[in-house]
Amino acid sequence: MTALTLLTEEEQFFQSEIAKFAQNQVAPKVVQMDEAEALDPQLLTQCFEMGLMGIDVDPKYGGTGGSFFMSCLAIEEISKIDPGVGVCIDVQNTLVNNIFHRWANAAQQAKFFPQLVSGKVGCFCLTEADSGSDAFALQSRAVWQDNAWVLTGKKIFITNAMEAEIFVFFANAAPEKGYKGITAFILEKNMLGLSIGKKEKKLGIRASSTCEVIVDQVRVPAENVLGEVGKGYKVAIETLNEGRIGIAAQMVGLAQGAFSGALRYARERVQFGKSINSFQGVQFQLARMATEIEAAKLLMYNAARLKDAGKPFAKEAAMAKYLGSEVAEKVASVSLEIYGGYGFVKEFPAEKFYRDAKIGKLYEGTSNLQLQTIFKIIDL
């Protein structure tokens, strides 16, 4: 059984349409975006027009009306071509839109979903300089003052920050209560005191913006509290559980993209009078990679299906993210080696996939955190 057999006809059609979009619209811009370290604005517009930024949002808000699983299919297909574009779509769907699905009230959904699906990028602002893996040590503060929340703080490593117009921002409204004071707020780009700080220069996924988000005495109305005051830690944990499946999809897509290039090259490259894929050493490398990719894909698909079915999936999400990032890094490395010296130069895509792969073990929970989560949940 292959991963394809787990898709319905509707899902297969959706996947094929996204694959065409990735080949026709994303692929021609990959090199330029990597060199410019920026997402092409026209491509971002096309992503909205394709419905890729609101895949599982209700059509009454302008969304596509698909499933979380379909969001993962889209992330996977786009990441086969450019994981930097893949993570932009990932954050919009599996983090931001998911938060609004799970925690926003009816008025918030009615206001923000139409914006998120039609042209406004969202971002998830949790990480700070001293609160990475220890996410709830954050220092951003929220103070109730003159009938509004006043927020102060600085976030780092925020994906989509440069393009974003809607920010889910976590701050502590009651520091004396520890993590139980953390609250999620909806911020908008035009709010006075909100600014974008340093844009990071990165090893990989360079089309994706990663920036500081700074709030300095930003006044936020009470109706922009997402969920309940003091429940932000729960909002963050549960959202990240879902987001990890999206990262697994990105990494599985990356691995397939790297593998496909290596497989084509092995068929075309001639040494000692025959193509290098006729040598057993290369055959075994390719066979191992294909097997590991399939295992990671099935694990990711299973986690996404469990999420859509409303069943517990935290363990499976952690497993999918852990294995997906491990496989992506390994496949990208071995694929580069199959190209030989050509793998080390930018003429071929192998070196970019290799650079892009490393982030998988780091963001939305390091590999060690995934292992810790898995260990806590496993039932022997």
Tens of pLDDT, residues 100-109: 999 999 999 9
**CB hemisphere CA count around 330 (13 angstroms):** 16
Position 347 scores a pLDDT of: 92
Please report, in angstroms and rounded to a whole number, the separation of the first and last CA atoms in the chain.
26
Q: Taking the domains of the chain in order of start, what are their residue ranges?
A: 3-120, 123-230, 234-377
As beta bridge partners, residue 150 has 143, 219
Of 292, 326, 351, 364, the catalytic one is: 364
Q: Using CB atoms within 10 A of its CB, is residue 311 exposed (0-12), middle (13-18) or buried (19+)?
A: exposed
Confidence of residue 47 (pLDDT cuts 50, 70, 90): very high
Confidence check: pLDDT of 219 > 70: yes
Confidence of residue 6 (pLDDT cuts 50, 70, 90): confident
Position 45 scores a pLDDT of: 98
Position 133 scores a pLDDT of: 84
Query: CA dist 353 to 47, 257, 326, Å?
Result: 22, 8, 14
Confidence of residue 1 (pLDDT cuts 50, 70, 90): very low
Fold of 234-377: Butyryl-CoA Dehydrogenase, subunit A; domain 3 (1.20.140)
Confidence check: pLDDT of 379 > 80: no
Position 135 scores a pLDDT of: 80
Q: What is the pLDDT of residues 48-67, one digit of tens each?
A: 999 999 999 999 999 999 99
Confidence check: pLDDT of 312 > 90: yes
Position 4 scores a pLDDT of: 58
Q: What is the pLDDT of residues 337-371, one digit of tens each?
A: 999 999 999 999 999 999 999 999 999 999 999 99
364 carries an active-site annotation: yes
For the residues 192-203, what does the mean pLDDT come to?
Answer: 98
For the residues 291-303, what does the mean pLDDT come to?
Answer: 98
Which DSSP string do the residues of 342-360 spell out, in sequence order? GGGSTTSTHHHHHHHHGGG
* Architecture of the CATH domain 3-120: Orthogonal Bundle (1.10)
Confidence check: pLDDT of 380 > 60: no
Confidence check: pLDDT of 243 > 80: yes
Return the percentage of the chain with pLDDT > 70, whole number: 98
For the residues 278-292, what does the mean pLDDT come to?
Answer: 97
123-230 in CATH: which number?
2.40.110.10
Position 344 scores a pLDDT of: 96
| Pairing label, strands 270-271, 274-275 | antiparallel
Query: CA dist 46 to 15, 35, 63, 92, Å?
Result: 17, 21, 15, 15
Confidence check: pLDDT of 5 > 60: no
Q: What is the pLDDT of residues 128-157, one digit of tens each?
A: 999 888 888 999 999 999 999 999 999 999
